[in-house]
Structure 1
Amino acid sequence: MSDVPSLVIIGGSNSLLRNGWVDQLKKLHPEPERVVNLSIGAATTAMGIYRLLSSTDLPPNPVIIWEYALNEANYSAHHQPVGVLLYHLRWLFEICARRGYPVLPVLLYNKAEATDEELHPYREKLASLLKRYQLKPVDARRFWRLRFAHLTPDRLYKDNPHYATDTQFPRALAKLVLARAAGAVIPRDTKPGNGLAGRDLRILAPSDSDARAFSNRILSCDIFPLTRSREIQMQGQLLACFLISSPNEAAIVFRSARGRRGPFSAQIGASESGPALQLKHLLLWNPQNPPLEVDGCLTITPRQKPLRGPIVQHTMAWRGPPKGEAEADPSRQGGVIGLLAEVGI
């Protein structure tokens, strides 16, 4: 085995592009089988946590490459609180610290950010958090301005959120990431205070017997269709829900003896590009509605016709109640695959 570290990438759609920077990273690594890409597009760090905690074939002693800054800037621009996004990122750093995984943040930017047409408050708060954890990122905007200023923004980017893959920039960025990965450090919170000690994260799922197996090129899992209520026994706080979503899902409500959250739309847009079934997440709390406390039974209830319009988060949609096509054809039906819960240890 070479001295080049194993790499695990968790990031958005730029990390999934054919001939993009991660493809180039695999070509540059002396043992490309030790580059594991767990990225999921149109998501945030919460999805990265799900992928990391549910993965069973991580290489030994990897460096975790985090590339969700661009996505989270977009989520924050669509009313997702920055505090929620960065709390999940703190948890990612905590998980990596407990496992002894170094972390290298790779900061990508929307085209409008790279040209300073857009400024997201998320970026400044992210920079403060990385400094707090003593993590020095690879900054793609700075790298472009220093080394690739001859590329115009229109040449550097395919569209606003995606870099072009037919320039030398993705390969050069991959070279920089590979060089910096060798010096990546384990996150260390320099301001622990009332930190995350005494708590942990768990991926939980129903135990019902009517789960349906789902598999694609990214993951294999069990789907629990949103055709009836589901129960999960747990003690802790509910942070997020992971779904296989389609354009024809119900709204869902999460309820415990301590309260409820929702309804949330579980639908994706009918015109959204990509497959009819897609891995999505719902972030189930905000500063005004803290994580739902559960001490026993959590019930997930589908609402075919919610009394009020459901909460529609970024990348989701609501076209009204399901039309019934999914029940007639289960292959078009999604459902819950897991929950992210913060629990005591």
Structure 2
Amino acid sequence: MAIFLIGGSNSLFSDGWVNYLKGHIDSEIQNLSIGASTSLVAIFRFLSEDGPAAGDTVIWEYALNEVTHETKGYPTETLLRNLERLLRLCRERGCKFAPVIMCPKVQELAEVRSEYFTLIHQLFDSYGIEYFDVSSEYRALHNIENMPADHYSDRAHYNKENVDLMEFCAAGCGRIVKTARVPKDIPPLRTAQTTMRVVNDFCDETFGNRLLQLPVATLPVEFKAGIAGKLIGAITLCFPDEDSGVLMRVKNPDQDNQRLRFSTMRRPDVNKPMVKAICLENIRHGDWQVSVNSEINMTAAERPGYYYAEPALKAKLKNPKKAPNTKIAGLVVEVPIESVA
């Protein structure tokens, strides 16, 4: 049985805590982590062709990213809903779940951490999942109120030079992997009786680097949804040095057409391509319904102005590039259970 790690940038460093896992986990770990994102991209990675199968274990490490998104205006309920969707996917496929909860520096040094941590603890408890909360267990072990500031290299990353801390993270992860279980079969707490699917059959190219290989499509793209449900996310590949955005139109045969737009423009301090999961539930009313025959058209933004922007992307486009390098890697769709039974 395989072990899959899906988390943020702390889980991508080859010399970080993951490097110490080999001393605590016998199996080889397949790392599907993507930085600067949330459980929405974890859903996408889970549903990829190289994702987990029945009997496999998923290590989830997105708490640090998610609480950071929360402080930037992301609705807490959206974060929790996507986490539950991932838990229910694991239940559906028969995968074990092992959450490693990391904490950004500002939350670690705060007098009281965000309620987000309490809420995910409660969610995991409801699904019968044991979790490893790095901050809580480190504080208890050393009888301190906060992890020292020098245990961080910056606001979002643990100090890789602190071998004891890296070993502590790896040992805690190894412990819960050994006791990991499939999430309990309970009624959904924050979602409906739905499951998740990825639409990416329109992709006709491949993007690859040392971290991942993704089927992608270059703008413009046009395709039929091929499935009925609610659009949850658009998985995009954003490139540096581009003033760019996407205009997305949904033409439904039995209802009014819909349109939304989002930025794919990177902040200037980031100089490499980045996979971003655009959370469509955060845009306007957030209820983007499609049917099997809905036509979806995605083109490069042409007008300057403000666009929906995920963290690490810029909201204001001054002179959108008419033919950007932006790629689309798929749409995440929430589907009623009965339609896929």
Same-fold status (TM-score > 0.5): yes
- Give, in angstroms, the shift of residue 35 of structure 1: 1.1
Question: What letter corresponds to residue 268 of structure 1 in structure 2?
Answer: R
Question: What letter corresponds to residue 217 of structure 1 in structure 2?
Answer: R
Q: d(CA) in 1 for partners of 2:232 and 2:53? A: 28
What is the match of residue 238 of structure 1? 231
1:250 aligns with 2:250: no
What is the match of residue 212 of structure 2? 219
| RMSD value, Cα | 2.6
Change (3 A) 1:132 1:340: same
- Alpha-carbon contact 2:91-2:185 (below 8 Å) kept: no
- Give, in angstroms, the shift of residue 57 of structure 1: 6.3
Alignment of 1:1-345 (within 5 A): 6-31=2-27, 34-56=28-50, 58=52, 61-117=55-111, 119-148=113-142, 153-167=148-162, 168-192=164-188, 196-197=192-193, 199-207=194-202, 211-226=204-219, 228-234=220-226, 235-247=228-240, 248=242, 249-257=244-252, 258=255, 259-273=257-271, 275=272, 277-286=273-282, 289-295=285-291, 296-306=293-303, 308-317=305-314, 318-323=316-321, 333-343=325-335, 344-345=339-340
Q: What TM-score, normalized by structure 2, do the two folds share?
A: 0.86
* 131-140 or 39-48, which deviates more: 131-140
- Alpha-carbon contact 1:132-1:191 (below 8 Å) kept: no
Q: Look up the SS of the partner of 2:183 in the other structure.
A: coil
- Give, in angstroms, the shift of residue 241 of structure 1: 0.6
Indicate the percent of aligned positions where both proteins have the same amino acid. Answer: 25
Instruction: Provide Cα deviations, 1:243-280, integer angstroms capped at 9, x if missing partner.
Output: 1111423332242324425211122123314x2x2211
What is the match of residue 330 of structure 1? none
- Alpha-carbon contact 1:157-1:164 (below 8 Å) kept: yes
Corresponding pairs, count: 327
Q: d(CA) in 2 for partners of 1:305 and 1:66? A: 38
Q: d(CA) in 1 for partners of 2:123 and 2:190? A: 15
- Give, in angstroms, the shift of residue 301 of structure 1: 3.0
- Give, in angstroms, the shift of residue 97 of structure 1: 0.8
- Give, in angstroms, the shift of residue 12 of structure 1: 0.5
- Segments of 5+ residues of structure 2 without an aligned counterpart are none
Q: Look up the SS of the partner of 2:294 in the other structure.
A: strand
Q: d(CA) in 2 for partners of 1:336 and 1:220? A: 13
Change (3 A) 1:24 1:223: same
- Give, in angstroms, the shift of residue 27 of structure 1: 4.4
Q: Look up the SS of the partner of 1:178 in the other structure.
A: helix
- Give, in angstroms, the shift of residue 336 of structure 1: 0.6
Instruction: Provide Cα deviations, 1:122-181, integer angstroms capped at 9, x if missing partner.
Output: 223222222221222101001221335689623211111100011111112211211221
Q: d(CA) in 1 for partners of 2:259 and 2:18? A: 37
- Alpha-carbon contact 2:301-2:321 (below 8 Å) kept: no
Q: What TM-score, normalized by structure 1, do the two folds share?
A: 0.85
Q: Look up the SS of the partner of 1:163 in the other structure.
A: coil
- Segments of 5+ residues of structure 1 without an aligned counterpart are 328-332
Q: d(CA) in 2 for partners of 1:118 and 1:261? A: 41
Q: Look up the SS of the partner of 1:159 in the other structure.
A: coil
